[in-house]
């Protein structure tokens, strides 16, 4: 079986295709490039972006478990992971910590945020 081909373009379109006859080819468009270029994104859009990037990182790590020598997949993983960290930092700078390990020494605000059933995130 030939190696897998994967590609990530500057619009976060990821294409992975198998080299075998009848191999599957998929395309995932996270659709965040335009919003990122425009600057401010809503809280919901930022959470959607974080979720999409988290999925991409997890998916790439699973692929790398079975294809550890695939340089393209490793570049994709590193790029998606960097974008995820940047998205997390941007979200947390505007809305506060998203994860417990993101809390800084600037106070403890978990109890002041709205709970999901109160309309919070």
39 in any annotated domain: no
1 in any annotated domain: no
86 in any annotated domain: yes
58 in any annotated domain: yes
110 in any annotated domain: no
68 in any annotated domain: yes
Total domains, the chain: 1
60 in any annotated domain: yes
pTM higher than 0.75 for the full model? no
106 in any annotated domain: no
Q: What DSSP assignment string belongs to 25-67?
A: EEEEE---HHHHHH----HHHHHHHHHHHHHHHHHHHHHHHH-
> Tens of pLDDT along the chain (121 residues)?
344 455 555 454 555 444 333 333 333 444 444 444 445 678 889 999 999 999 999 999 999 999 999 999 999 999 999 999 999 999 988 887 887 777 776 666 666 777 667 876 6
Expressed as residue numbers, the domain containing 54 is 44-96
């Amino acid at each position: 079986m030939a190696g897998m081909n994967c590609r990530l373009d500057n619009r976060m379109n990821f294409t992975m295709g198998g080299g075998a006859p009848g191999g599957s080819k998929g395309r995932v468009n996270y659709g965040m490039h335009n919003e990122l270029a425009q600057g401010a994104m809503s809280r919901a859009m930022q959470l959607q972006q974080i979720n999409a990037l988290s999925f991409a990182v997890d998916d790439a790590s699973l692929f790398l478990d079975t294809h550890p020598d695939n340089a393209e997949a490793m570049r994709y993983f590193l790029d998606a992971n960097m974008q995820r960290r940047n998205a997390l930092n941007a979200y947390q700078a505007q809305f506060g910590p998203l994860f417990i390990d993101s809390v800084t020494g600037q106070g403890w605000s978990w109890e002041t945020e709205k709970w999901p059933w109160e309309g919070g995130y």
